[in-house]
Amino acid sequence: MLMTDLIAKKRDGGELSGDEIRFMIDGYVRGKISDYQMSAMCMAIYFRGMTDQETLDLTLAMMHSGDVVDLSSIKGIKADKHSTGGVGDKTSLILCPMVAACGLRVAKMSGRGLGHTGGTLDKLESFPGYNISIGEKRFLDNVNRIGIAIMGQTADLVPADKKLYALRDVTGTVPSIPLIVSSIMSKKLASGTDVIVLDVKCGSGAFMKTEAQAHELARGLTRIGKLAGRKCAAVITDMNQPLGCAVGNALEVKEAISVLRGETKGDLLELCLTLGSCLLIQAGYTEDEDTARKLLQEAIDSGRALKKLAELVEAQDGDAHDVYDTARLPLAPVQLEVPSESAGYVSHIECEKVGLISMHLGGGRAAKEDAIDLSVGLVLHKKVGDKVEMGESLATIHASTMEKAQAAANSLRACCTFSDTPVQRPQLIKDILFS
């Protein structure tokens, strides 16, 4: 078998067999197939696409390119969640303890963030001492003992994806749906869970800018999940403004805790109830969304969900007291209010630019090796549809210096557009697809 033949076959619109795809992925991971040949294949896939069978074969070949986590020692149904990424997305910090408090087992492997803010691991490290490298045995033991564990992905989990994603990033082939689907699902399948919910975001602050693109990706993800024998749901959600109000690692942790305490409602809670309902329904805990939402809300109202987060932090070498007293979490030395220079109704927020403000404050990474300041970011006080008076605060900037805070404040004002007439709040949940 020759890689040149496979490139030509896909270039001309042919369908690759499972054996051909396995040969290609195995050869690439082992260094027998060059970057320039795989670049050509990625471009051929970008233009010609892949059938469901090809995408499944690619996903499984990538999944088996490294370690596959064995969760068979965990009693009960194992759940996982994935988000395609967005500004202020801290849902894992709420959703995972909430569904674990309802009896599902959450065995989650996460990555670090690149861009707007940190990833789930970075946010969890806002709890001093939190250990993301607990090892597989302790990971499994913790899930059996308390029902939840969140740690970093092992270096040998889906190495094909690490190599392919770096290549796609520099060859203009990131937007290919089959390549996105195989990237996401290979990691989810390798993680070994039974039920998966996928938060597919669309809008100015998301990778998928339009609802149509998000639907195409969601359909691809759920189809491959079904073909791989997993129960999988995709929720298409709005990312035309930040999710919740906090953008920045420790700030997002504090907001997540406020939701788990039952103090904060709104879009963040709504999304977590929707995602959690999908998991409970797929796991067979309930047959309908209303019952599922009541179970999840009761986990919050009773304090069991917050307690589960405290158990997670303590089980991974953090201090549970930090969950109950958020004043102990990192706090930036400078807080600056951003008074509005206009009056009216917020009609638009440049979502991606808000994320970049946090990154420039130090809350995200422009490159993988960048260090993150866990304390910085911003907290919005107004969102789309809210009425604003002249001089009323749009947000609070949390920064390391006053100079950085003032620059961020000026940038934030430029992100907001106002209307003289009332503005309808955007619809958060666009659609839900089950496999």
Q: 145 lies in a domain?
A: yes
Work out the angle between the directed axes of helices 91-101 and 289-301 (0-180°, nearest 10). 100
- Same domain for 215 and 188, yes or no, is yes
The CA distance from 131 to 139, in Å, is 11
The CA distance from 142 to 219, in Å, is 34
Identify which of 49, 46, 24, 52 has the alpha carbon closest to the alpha carbon of residue 37. 24
Would you call 82 a catalytic residue per the annotation?
Answer: yes
Would you call 168 a catalytic residue per the annotation?
Answer: yes
Catalytic residue among 161, 194, 199, 322: 161
In degrees and rounded to multiples of 5, residue 418 shows phi and psi of -120, 155
Q: 61 lies in a domain?
A: no
Q: 158 lies in a domain?
A: yes
Task: Tally the domains of the chain.
Answer: 3
Share of residues in the chain with pLDDT > 70 (%): 98
User: At residue 391, what is the residue type?
Assistant: G
- Same domain for 349 and 372, yes or no, is yes
Tokens of 425: 């709040």
Instruction: Identify the domain containing residue 347 by its residue range.
Output: 331-419
- Same domain for 287 and 349, yes or no, is no
Q: 70 lies in a domain?
A: no
- Same domain for 178 and 121, yes or no, is yes
- Same domain for 302 and 414, yes or no, is no
Would you call 187 a catalytic residue per the annotation?
Answer: yes
CA distances (Å), origin 434, targets 196, 229, 244: 10, 13, 25
pTM of the predicted model, to two decimals? Answer: 0.94
- Same domain for 191 and 282, yes or no, is yes
Would you call 183 a catalytic residue per the annotation?
Answer: yes
Catalytic residue among 22, 90, 105, 168: 168
Question: What pLDDT is recorded for position 112?
Answer: 74
Number of neighbours of residue 275 by Cβ within 10 angstroms? 26
Catalytic residue among 187, 230, 383, 430: 187
Q: Which residues of 394-430 are buried (b: 16+ CB within 10 A; e: fewer)?
A: bbbbbbeeeebbebbbebbeebbebeeeebeebebeb
Residue 156 burial by CB count (10 A; 0-12/13-18/19+): exposed, middle or buried? exposed
Length of the chain: 435
Evaluated on CA atoms 129, 134, 138, 140, the torsion sign reads positive
Q: 165 lies in a domain?
A: yes
Find the angle CA(311)-CA(235)-CA(297) to the nearest 5 degrees.
40
Catalytic residue among 10, 78, 81, 82: 82
Question: What pLDDT is recorded for position 16?
Answer: 98
- Same domain for 16 and 125, yes or no, is no
- Same domain for 344 and 212, yes or no, is no
User: At residue 285, what is the residue type?
Assistant: Y
- Same domain for 163 and 295, yes or no, is yes
CATH of the domain at 362: 3.90.1170.30
In degrees and rounded to multiples of 5, residue 384 shows phi and psi of -55, 130
Residue 50 burial by CB count (10 A; 0-12/13-18/19+): exposed, middle or buried? buried
- Same domain for 129 and 177, yes or no, is yes
Q: 249 lies in a domain?
A: yes
201: left (phi over 0), alpha (psi -120 to 50) or beta: beta
Q: 435 lies in a domain?
A: no
Tens digit of each residue's pLDDT (9 = 90 or more) over 54-66: 999 999 999 999 9
Q: 62 lies in a domain?
A: no
Sheet holding 105-110, edge to edge: 148-152, 105-110, 78-83, 195-202, 231-238, 429-434
Tokens of 142: 């913790």
pLDDT mean values, one per 10 residues, the chain (435 residues)? 97 98 97 96 97 98 94 95 92 98 94 71 95 94 97 88 89 92 95 95 91 96 95 96 96 98 96 98 94 98 98 98 97 98 96 94 80 95 97 98 98 97 96 94
- Same domain for 314 and 340, yes or no, is no
The single-letter DSSP state of residue 228 is: T
Catalytic residue among 110, 183, 191, 277: 183
- Same domain for 157 and 242, yes or no, is yes
Would you call 308 a catalytic residue per the annotation?
Answer: no
Question: What pLDDT is recorded for position 276?
Answer: 98
Is the distance from CB of 134 to CB of 149 less than 8 angstroms? yes
The CA distance from 92 to 117, in Å, is 14
CATH of the domain at 266: 3.40.1030.10
Tens digit of each residue's pLDDT (9 = 90 or more) over 256-314: 999 999 999 999 999 999 999 999 999 999 989 999 999 999 999 999 999 999 999 99
Averaged pLDDT score across all residues of the chain: 95
Share of residues in the chain with pLDDT > 90 (%): 89
Tokens of 3: 């890689």
CATH of the domain at 14: 1.20.970.10
Beta strand ranges found along 14-89 (DSSP E): 78-83
Please report, to the nearest 10 degrees, the dihedral formed by the alpha carbons of residues 205, 207, 209, 213 taken in order.
Answer: -150
